[in-house]
Structure formats: structure tokens, C-alpha cells
Amino acid sequence: MVTRMRHTRAHTANRRSHHKLAEPALSKDASGTLHIRHRATLDGMYKGRSVLGDPVKKVMKKQAVKKAVKKVAAKKVVKKVAKK
């Protein structure tokens, strides 16, 4: 590197002084427990309602949607074959 392009240690330290990490902001919910803002609490509450659902129910719903999409696609194929 060329000498004129170098930064002094003081200049480098001044730039790095803004790189420190901030502590996360904490909030208290209705029950008084602390949690990170805009995140669900450990018991699954967010904005006064439960957001943790039953994982089995979620998977079953996803599978039902896939089955419905397959049925619709199969009907379209049958209609195309029938037209020919």
C-alpha cells in the first residue's frame, strides 16, 4: 500500500468506536415476565394471545392442502384428456 492511504491507529479506533453491540430491549408482559421486544415469550404468548399452536394440527392442515391441490390438478388433466 501507498503510505498516503494508511490510517493512523487513532483514526481506526475512532471508526471502530461505533461498532459496539447494543443490549437487547426487554419488555414485561401482563404476567410480569421479561422477554425480548417483538418476540413471543417462553410460554408462547404474543400481544396477549397464544401463538404456539399444536404442531400435529399444523402438519395435518399442510397435508390436507397438498391433497386438495393434487385433486384439482387431476381434474384438470381429466378434462384435457376428455376434450381430445
Radius of gyration of the chain measured on its C-alpha atoms: 29
pLDDT tens digits, 22-76: 888 998 887 888 888 888 888 888 888 888 877 778 788 888 999 988 888 888 8
HSE, side-chain direction, 13 A CA sphere, residue 55: 0
Residue 4 has pLDDT above 80, yes or no: no
Q: In degrees, to the nearest 5, what angle opens at C-alpha 39 toward C-alphas 45 and 51?
A: 35
Tell me the whole-structure pTM to 2 decimals: 0.40
Contact 37/28 with Cβ under 8 angstroms? Answer: no
